[in-house]
């Protein structure tokens, strides 16, 4: 009996983006906001193959553009300050988001968000991606 044959296939990586939307996951993009306005932070990844990847958003910082950085989400994907941004929701394998009120640094007009996204191969046969939040 011949040994089993292993087949491999090159799968393109998903393309990911971050958006700030007006008030909800389906709101229009926000380019300018006022302090206190409700916005929705949304991370999405588009993949050519469905049911292949899972994502987790982690290591998020907000920066004032002058080197003043505050960490919002830790390396495990957990929110660090519930008043600024609570734990993200994952309504799909490649979608994460959370509503939050706009805030700003004193004497600064702009804020810059910097987050990491980890993509994993989805377990074969599993219906959902497993999101592990370790609460500390």
Q: Which domains does the chain have, with CATH numbers?
A: 15-121 (2.60.40.4100)
pLDDT tens per residue across all 136 residues of the chain: 788 887 777 878 899 999 999 999 999 999 999 999 999 999 999 999 888 899 999 999 999 888 889 999 999 999 999 999 999 999 999 999 999 999 888 888 888 999 999 999 887 777 777 765 444 4
Q: Which among 47, 121, 15 has a CA at the least distance from the CA of 130?
A: 121
- Residue 126: its pLDDT value, please? 78
Give dist(CA 81, CA 74) in Å, integer.
Answer: 10
Neighbours of 97 (CB within 10 A): 21
Residue count (the chain): 136
Give dist(CA 22, CA 31) in Å, integer.
Answer: 9
In angstroms, what CA-CA distances link 48 with 19, 27, 51, 57, 122?
20, 25, 10, 20, 14
In angstroms, what CA-CA distances link 94 with 23, 46, 48, 50, 75?
20, 7, 12, 10, 18
- Residue 10: its pLDDT value, please? 81
- Residue 17: its pLDDT value, please? 96
pTM, two decimals, is 0.85
Question: In angstroms, how far is the first alpha carbon of the chain from the final one?
Answer: 54
């Amino acid at each position: 009996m011949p040994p089993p044959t292993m087949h491999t296939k090159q799968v393109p990586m998903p393309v990911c983006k971050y958006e700030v939307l007006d008030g909800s996951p389906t709101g229009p993009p926000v380019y300018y906001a006022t302090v206190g306005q409700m916005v929705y932070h949304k991370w999405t990844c588009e993949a050519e193959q469905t049911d292949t990847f899972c994502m987790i958003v982690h290591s998020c910082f907000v920066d004032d553009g002058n080197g003043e950085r505050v960490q919002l989400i830790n390396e495990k994907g957990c929110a660090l300050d519930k008043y600024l941004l609570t734990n993200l929701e994952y309504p799909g394998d490649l979608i994460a988001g959370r509503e939050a009120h706009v805030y700003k640094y004193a004497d600064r007009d702009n804020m810059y968000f910097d987050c990491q996204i980890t993509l994993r191969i989805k377990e074969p046969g599993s219906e959902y991606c497993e999101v592990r939040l370790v609460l500390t």
